[in-house]
Structure 1
Amino acid sequence: MRKKMFGLLLSVVMISALTACGGNGDKQSTGGTSASGSSAGGTGSEEKVTLTYWTDDRHDQEYLKELISKFNEANPNIEVEMTVLSENFNQSVDIAFSGNQAPDLLRLKSANTETFVKKGYLAPIDEYMTDEMNNKFSSLIIDGVNRFDGKLYSLPNTGNTLRLVYNQELFDKAGIDHPPVSLKEMVEDAKKITDIGKKGGAYGFALNFKNPKGAFDRSVREILSLSGYQGLGFDIKTGRFDFTPYGQVIDYLKQMWDEGSILPGAETLDIDPLRAQFAAGKIGMYLSFSTEPGVYQDQFPTNIKWGGALAPTITGERVGTSEIVSAGTWLGISETSKHKDAAWKFMQYMYGDDIMTTYHEKGFGIAVVPRIAEKAKQPEIPGMEGFLVGEYDSMWPVSPSITPEGANYGDAFFKYMLNGGDLRQVVQDLNTRYNTALDKATEKGDVTVKPDPSFDPSKLKQVQ
């Protein structure tokens, strides 16, 4: 009975996820040539091995279908099947592992790798690493990102930069010479655009506030990192959460809200409807990832003149660097997989230079591996030039993944934006609840926190 109940629950979660991503949870047999070009899994007399790969990415799935198809053709003893789960990915993984139905390979991201390692979901890959691969990735291996307790679980490929996305045509109409470099300028510019555009339905600013935390994680995060603060509310120097700087940014966003400079209905706006409005020329500015140029080339084609620029900072000074996100990990092998050698063969193939180079050139992500970044051509996608890695982009130390009791910081700050109140009290409450959750997680051994009093955000290593 228990097994039947698990199977039913897993089916419900996966059907829900696949429906949410537009029916793209397609399993498929595909996969390119193996790194060695030989049949995987040993001798040709062995039975065929089926590997399951789960990912929550949609933007690259057509390219991955091609790669997997090539791999399967070149490795007749291995068949890789890919499943795309755009919603409830982590929950689906939890259910799969609890019911002994976990995939062989997983798409890993900075937000879930540590959690998966702590739960025992991932297998270390140290024994598989060759000298060539160690040389290729050594400068990018980071404790707490892809290495935990001295064991390596994943390797980097590409990352996403975050930028202010702006409508140059609305800037010109409003007499704005350049993208804002401070939050004060951003508020002023948003009001100017709204004043000249409101009659035609255009407003100065927008975010996808249907999901407040998601909205802030693509905006406040970058404003803070360029201002010298870790972007998710964590103080690296003290090893504690401190949302005081975060509150300063929220105050400016609230000012835009109160002045009517934010697109009406933004509280129910998801990211794709926001993009559709921007493509239609109705939004002056918003902040988002380097996936946006591809979106406006394929998903929401637009004729407006637009660009990407570094996010503004609290004061106008760039004390830190813009964080390159999701850059430390890509693929990982399940600890419970019965075919780890075959899974590594596929993983090694995916981390080949040709594939990683093409992945960058097609605009699926920005290469962070030095030897790939040096030889890869820049993606020929309109607007991508504003998102390329430069002197103010870098990797940042990871913030511990904590779930507090009560509202998360996104919901708490957005409630303040809508209803007002005492911002200092909001910050104090968040600090208390997040640090309480941090202490509990530390005591359980779920997270490890080491204060770094000498941390200097101006000296972060740039990835160029």
Structure 2
Amino acid sequence: MNKLKKIGALLSSAMLMTALAGCSTEKSDGAGSASSTAAVEQSKQPVKMETIRVWTNSGHTKELVTEMVGEYNSTIGKEKGIKIEYTVQGADYKQAIDLALASGQAPELFYVVGPKVDYVKRGDIIPIEELPRGKEFLGKYDGMLNRVAFTVKGKAYSVPFNITNVKLLYNKDLFKKAGLVDKNGEAKPPNTWTEVREYAKKLTNPQDKVYGIALPLKWGSYFDWELLFPWVSSIGHNSFNTLTGKYEFSSFKPALEWLMSIKEDKSYFPGPEGLDNDPARAQFSEGRVAMKLGASWDVGVLNDQLPATMDWGAADIPVSDPANRYKEFASVSDFISVSKTAKSANLEKVMEVYKWLNSDEFLVKMYEEGKYVPYDNRIIQMAKKLPKAKGWADFGHNEKIYLHHGQPTVKLEGNTHTQVFLKIWMGGVGIEEALADLDARYNAALDAGVKDGTIDKSMFVNENFDFRLK
């Protein structure tokens, strides 16, 4: 039996050698060799390079993104046949992109300014689902796209990229000088709105040209970013209540009363009615204002645009009652959308660029260099270094935030809430009366929009959303 096995093995080996010899003989006629050579030559042929254009208005990231694009083009892009042409437009960005879209010269990818629904109606942008493997890509954002910033009529036109949150900026030097310190002698920011009022009064010294707080009422977004949004932490919902689907300005009566108390104390920088945000930030930077509400974009302002001449910090938003603190407001934004122009380009390559611009790698770099606060804490945890920019660490932690759902754009009759709030400040109308009128007019406009089909209220309502801080 053992002999038979050995003979079988020898025969198998002989047959294998014969087969290999036959293969060798076949190649020697030149046909196989030519085929192999052709395959090698084909593999050496350079991939077809195609340019994918990207436009944004993000001036503060221009240098960094341009550098990253250059690296991409010389590595990944070179391998995949992609050259990204990155352009940052100036102050006339919206006009430039609208003209480019109207003339058929728009880039394949661009940042959308204003409501996306307008661009969708004109067919200027296309859904991510229409890109190769678009649905698969959107899977990583499950549960995060139900916001008007990203989705129109059930289709996604962009994805979350970064957040903008609000803090209380405070001058540590002035706090220490006034004795507003903790047991270690470090500046102690106020925890409540009552304390903000008390601190502002104590810190105001007109003789030294130092004032407790800056109120840039001339800035068109003041009453949103520095009053309504910060006070959500005390009230538990926005002026448009995500839980009920109604405007509820009346809930913000304490916020207006607090603002008027600051006026009563005269503890604000002079001339708030004529004070815009840039001059207010300049006064804070120069050390003449002790406190100011500020957004995460102010980190760049106070480090680069208007470099602070004093030691400053950014504290969590004060509340009315520390025992009933709600989550802090944060606006979630996107970075890029897909233009209708992409349909005439290589959609595979457009999708490659879109994925890269929203990749973890890209987001981590933006955070590490102090350009954006990422929408996801996971990105922060992936970072290998902390941003060096002063104040970034204060804004960078987002454990206490909620992501704003947005609110409907209504066709309002009469004055807007901003105009009414300014009238309250000027003493032209009572707080309770004015807020009740705002509720009535905004909700009437909301109902009219729902009725005529211009507003889909379901996009802004989430009855199960929890504002409570756990």
Q: CA RMSD in A?
A: 3.0
Query: Does the 8 Å CA contact 1:244/1:427 hold for their aligned counterparts?
Result: yes
Instruction: Using the TM superposition, give the Cα deviation of residue 364 of structure 1 relative to its aligned residue in structure 2, in angstroms.
Output: 1.0
Relative to structure 1, is the Cα distance of residues 242 and 139 closer, same or farther in structure 2, using a 3 angstrom cutoff? closer
Does the residue aligned with 2:110 lie in a helix, a strand or coil?
A: strand
Which residue of 361, 376, 382 maps to 1:375? 382
**Structure 1 residue aligned with 2:190:** 180
Moved more, 390-399 or 134-143: 134-143
Q: Which runs of 5+ in 1 are unaligned?
A: 1-42
- Residue 314 (structure 1) aligned with residue 320 (structure 2): yes
Query: Secondary structure, in 3 states, of the residue corresponding to 2:53?
Result: strand
Q: Which amino acid aligns with 2:225?
A: R
Question: What is the CA distance between 1:323 and its match in structure 2?
Answer: 1.9
Cα separation, 1, equivalents of 2:48 and 2:99: 35
Q: Distance between the aligned counterparts of 1:254 and 1:224, measured in 2?
A: 15
Q: Matched residues, percent identical? A: 26
Q: Which residue of 2 aligns with 1:392?
A: 400
* Residue 336 of structure 1: how far off its partner (Å): 4.9
Deviation at 1:299, TM superposition (A): 1.9
Query: Where in structure 2 are the equivalents of 1:34-183 lying within 5 Å?
Result: 44=47, 48-49=50-51, 51-53=53-55, 55-73=56-74, 74=77, 78-86=83-91, 89=94, 97=101, 102-108=106-112, 112-117=115-120, 120-126=123-129, 127-129=131-133, 133-134=137-138, 136-138=140-142, 140-177=144-181, 178-183=188-193
- 1:347 matched to 2:354? The reply is yes
Q: Specify the code of the residue in structure 1 equivalent to 2:439.
A: N
TM-score of the pair, normalised by structure 2: 0.77
TM-aligned CA distance change 1:207 to 1:403, over 3 Å: farther
Q: What's the secondary structure of 1:252's corresponding residue?
A: helix
1:364-422 residue CA offsets vs partner (Å, 9 max, x unmatched): 11122354222113212222222122432222333223352343212220222123422
Q: 8 Å contact 1:183–1:316 — kept in the other structure?
A: no
Aligned length, in residue pairs = 409
Q: CA deviation at 1:435?
A: 2.1
The alpha-carbon deviation at position 434 of structure 1 amounts to 1.9
Structure 2: distance between partners of 1:340 and 1:253? 55
Cα shift at 1:441: 2.8
Deviation at 1:184, TM superposition (A): 1.9
2:421 matched to 1:418? no
Q: Tell me whether 1:427 sits opposite 2:432 in the alignment.
A: no
Q: 1:335 aligns with which of 340, 347, 359?
A: 340
Distance 1:222 1:175, change over 3 A: farther
In the alignment, the residues of structure 2 paired with residue 405 and residue 99 of structure 1 have an alpha-carbon distance, to the nearest angstrom, of 35
CA distance in 2, matches of 1:234, 1:367: 25
Render the CA deviation track for 1:58-82: whole Å, top value 9, x for unaligned: 2212222223344455456645242
How far apart, in 2, do the equivalents of 1:402 and 1:336 lie?
A: 31
Q: CA deviation at 1:262?
A: 1.3
User: Is contact 2:161-2:332 (8 Å) kept?
Assistant: no
Could you say which residue in structure 2 is the equivalent of 1:235?
A: 241
Task: Tell me if 1:456 matches 2:466.
Answer: yes
- For structure 2, which runs of at least 5 residues remain unmatched after alignment? 1-45, 182-187
Does the 8 A contact of 2:116 with 2:152 survive in 1? Answer: no
Pair 1:379–1:106, CA change in 2 (3 A): same
Instruction: Go from structure 1 to structure 2 and tell me whether the alpha carbon gap of 1:403 and 1:198 turns closer, same or farther (over 3 Å shift).
Output: farther
